[in-house]
Chains A and B, each alone.
Chain A
Amino acid sequence: MSAKLANRIATVVIIAVAIFIVAILAGLLGYILVRGLGHVSWDFLTSVPQSIREGGGIGPQLFNSVFLLVLTLLITVPLGVGAGIYMSEYAKANRFTDFIRLVVEVLSSFPSIVVGLFGLLVLVHYFGLGYSLFAGALALTVFNLPLMVRITEQAIRAVPKEQKEASLALGLSRWKTITSIMLPIAMPNILTGTILASGRVFGEAAALLFTAGMSSPRLDFTNWNPFSSNSPLNPFRPAETLAVHIWKINSEGLAPDAAEIAAGASAVLVIVVLLFNFTARFIGGYIHRKFTASK
């Protein structure tokens, strides 16, 4: 076979693979959206679910998903970025550091149902958190933290050595060098990590079944006192997320329109994830430009 022919074949194969992948994505997205969008309306997005009658919505579940995301990020981002900075800048290269890295890797590959059970036994029962958003956020931290640590570490390591040296040579402290010079350069990569971690929060169901719970109390959306038990902002109340809700009504839903609700909720979930992705990238790009004065 001539080199030219081999090159042709390889090009065709690679393009075919690329088209195949895009087709899968388009097919999936199309299927979910076409099936679900017909059912989505303002009423569907804001009203509470019905267990037996028709016409239930997903309002509380949608809110719970977003609130759980915020709670989880509040825990994982400071811890993950802090640990990532430590691993890349302060930790000495020795066995102990390698051990931490191994633990982080193992943690991220835990089966989520196991983490859910761990959450049930330790967080919900032993620490007495009950089925709550907070317990759910802590369970999700188990997956998200390793991701954040690894991505921050790699992002900071990828900053050119000369940038760091230039700052130190001006007589700046190590901490100032990290926060003012290195973090802004590493920012887009850290942001990508955060988005990946967030996608998992939206999509996760197994780890939440036994931690955040499968029910949502009657919420009073006019009560914004986070200490009151029917306030949506109370982090210690049970909270069924969108993903958990889809799983629940698909497996045991009694309402006559359960299938449509599941389809609609799936479409909403996909759209929220996409929206979140684009917004986060946009904001990240803006911050990066602002910090670095680049075009």
Chain B
Amino acid sequence: MPNNGLYVRDLSVYYGKKQAVKEINLDFAAKEVTALIGPSGCGKSTFLRSLNRMNDLIGDARITGEIWIEDKNINDPSVDVVLLRQKIGMVWQRPNPFHKSIYENIAFGPRYHGIKNKKQLNEIVETSLRKAALWEETKDRLHQSALSLSGGQQQRLCIARSLAVKPKIILMDEPASALDPVSTAKIEELISELKQDYCIIIVTHNMHQAARISDKTAFFFMGELVEFDDTQKMFTNPSKKQTDDYISGRFG
């Protein structure tokens, strides 16, 4: 196995008796964007949330199978979930900045992880905001409330916040679906930039978006992985009829 991505083996997620995700095997490479597509309720969000064990928070969720990152199986009971989550950033559908200042939103994570030096924190805030293409818009108002930003800016702040704790992998759950077209374009541009350094896994309902920004695409249906291939091939010449039907809008 190559060493910098994320490898999923036989992953199943159950809610009570219902199996929401069925024995998925998938490899995510570093420096690539992988899009997860499929109709609502097909298990792609559940799958995404199990990659940083966010499903632990749901009382009756049960997860089997293995997820490997840096030679460690994160579903192993001995793994420290708290440390694990630092390596895997996450961005949600609706922007969810903390009810704190712009500066604090970014500095909060690194400070908790042990960086107390003010100068170092300032640097982290600046680099994170620069990486998220938000520095120019916010450098003069770092100590204002993050809630005073527009929706698109808030979403970029959330991306900057996750970058600040130096993750290897970034999970995005429909990060642009609540934004206007201009903000969406900015987020997409940003994703292409971030690809240079991170492994990005993105759930999207927007076929055009998947085609524009991703290198690989995985199509989920009824909890199963139907097809996984290069995005180009998936969108021009998929090998399964189901994939073709979904992508061309004949169902789902």
Contacts and interface: CB of A to CB of B under 8 A. Distances in A.
Interface string A147-190: 00000000000001011111111111100100011001100000
B96 A160 contact: yes
Nearest to B146: A293
A293 B54 contact: no
A211 B161 CA distance: 54
Interface string B140-171: 00011111100000000010011001000000
A56 to B, nearest CB: 51
Contact of A293 (B59, B83, B84, B100): B100
Nearest to A161: B57
Contacts, number: 78
B145 A93 contact: no
Nearest to A174: B82
A168 B85 contact: yes
A119 B239 CA distance: 78
A295 B143 CA distance: 12
A294 interface: yes
B82 A171 contact: yes
Nearest to A172: B112
Given A176-B112, A292-B99, A171 B92 contact: no
Interface string B80-104: 0011111111101010101111001
5 contacts: A165-B54, A166-B158, A169-B54, A170-B85, A180-B108
Given A162-B92, A293-B99, A293-B145, 12 more contacts: A93-B59, A162-B94, A163-B96, A165-B57, A168-B54, A169-B88, A169-B89, A170-B109, A170-B162, A171-B165, A293-B101, A293-B143
Interface of A: 92-93, 160, 162-173, 176, 180-181, 184-185, 291-295
